[in-house]
Amino acid sequence: MEAPLSSSNLGGTPSPSLSTAMLSPFCMKQASKNPSLMSSSPLTADVHSPQPPVASMPPEDIRICPTKIFARNARPNMMQEFIHNTMGSIASSCPLHFILFGETPDDHSYLRQCSSPLTANNGEYSLTFADSLTFEKYSACYRCWTPQHPAFEHTFPCKQTDNVQDWWRSMPYFILRVKVIREAVFTTLGLDPNTFKSIKDYSIWLTKRALPPQHPHCSKNFTNLVVLAYTFLRLQTEKALEVPAGGHILDAEAYEGLE
């Protein structure tokens, strides 16, 4: 049985309210069902109040409310810098062992060196997800998926970034496929944890710009993947995500096709 997440308020100063004109129809629909989405709120890991179910819609139409993205007065540049600094301190660790078990093994650093069956070529992660993301041109490195933002100090051509590539590819996968992590991250962002009905829809959504075109902070390198990575790493850094004894449990879909 999965251990419950610790429910903690991570504090901070609420961001100013944003004009409803900047919110997408999806965001407004969510807000009409749950008025709290329209208010500024600190980043939290409250998984006890899931959002109401959302109707099936194209992944490109699913948007995170700006008030949730910019909780605690976070802004794109600061968020990208936080990801770069935080990932830099853990990128030499196998992301599977670090995220699922809270461990840093001595015998390998790369996901491809991991003995877990999840890394097999015939599994959902390798076969369906890892190579399926297609980003907008000049929004992320085509090889390692690092956002093309100055904060990451990414050099071109891309060299010696296998460990970074492992993190950018596997981190969003584990966010989706570990129920307690998905609930924490999605609920923090005002999304229903069961928003995505397929791994393909999720892959498409990750590559889209996080903000609508009319928003002043809209940018091709500020994608839903960046927002999810920031939220997960912030919750993990502030110890709002607990690794249960024996490690996290993945959804059954993660093991489909594996022997």
Angle at Cα 84 formed by Cα 177 and Cα 86, nearest 5°?
A: 65
Q: Identify the pLDDT of residue 127.
A: 79
- Give the separation between CA 147 and CA 153, rounded to whole angstroms: 10
Q: In angstroms, what CA-CA distances link 33 with 50, 88, 194?
A: 12, 39, 16
Q: Identify the pLDDT of residue 160.
A: 64
Task: Walk along the chain (259 residues) and give the pLDDT tens digit of each residue.
Answer: 433 333 333 333 333 333 333 444 444 444 454 444 333 333 433 333 344 344 467 888 898 999 899 887 788 899 999 999 998 888 888 889 899 999 888 888 778 778 787 777 777 888 788 777 788 888 888 778 888 888 888 777 677 667 788 899 899 999 999 999 999 999 999 999 999 988 889 999 999 999 999 999 998 989 999 999 999 999 999 988 989 988 898 887 777 766 5
| Other beta carbons within 10 Å of 72 | 16
Tokens for 165, please give them: 């590539």
Q: Which residue has the tokens 């960046």?
A: 226
Q: Identify the pLDDT of residue 259.
A: 52
pLDDT per position as a tens digit, 59-88: 888 989 998 998 877 888 999 999 999 988
Q: Where are the domains of the chain?
A: 58-255
Cβ contacts of 140 within 8 Å, gap of 6 or more = 146, 147, 148, 207, 221, 223, 225
Tokens for 160, please give them: 């010696």
Contact 168, 144 (CB under 8 A): yes
Q: Identify the pLDDT of residue 153.
A: 80
In the chain, how many H helices and how many E strands? 9, 0
Contact 165, 143 (CB under 8 A): yes
| Other beta carbons within 10 Å of 198 | 11
Contact 181, 172 (CB under 8 A): no
Contact 37, 68 (CB under 8 A): yes
How many CA atoms are closer than 13 Å to the CA of 53, on its beta-carbon side? 3
pTM of the predicted protein model:
0.75
Q: Identify the pLDDT of residue 176.
A: 94
- Give the separation between CA 14 and CA 88, rounded to whole angstroms: 28
Q: Which letter does DSSP use for residue 223 in this model?
A: B
- Give the separation between CA 31 and CA 171, rounded to whole angstroms: 28
Buried b (16+ CB within 10 A) or exposed e, 132-168: ebebeeebbbeebbbbbbebbebeeebeebbbbbbbb
Q: Residue 177: which H helix or E strand, with range?
A: helix 162-177
Q: Residue 65: which H helix or E strand, with range?
A: none
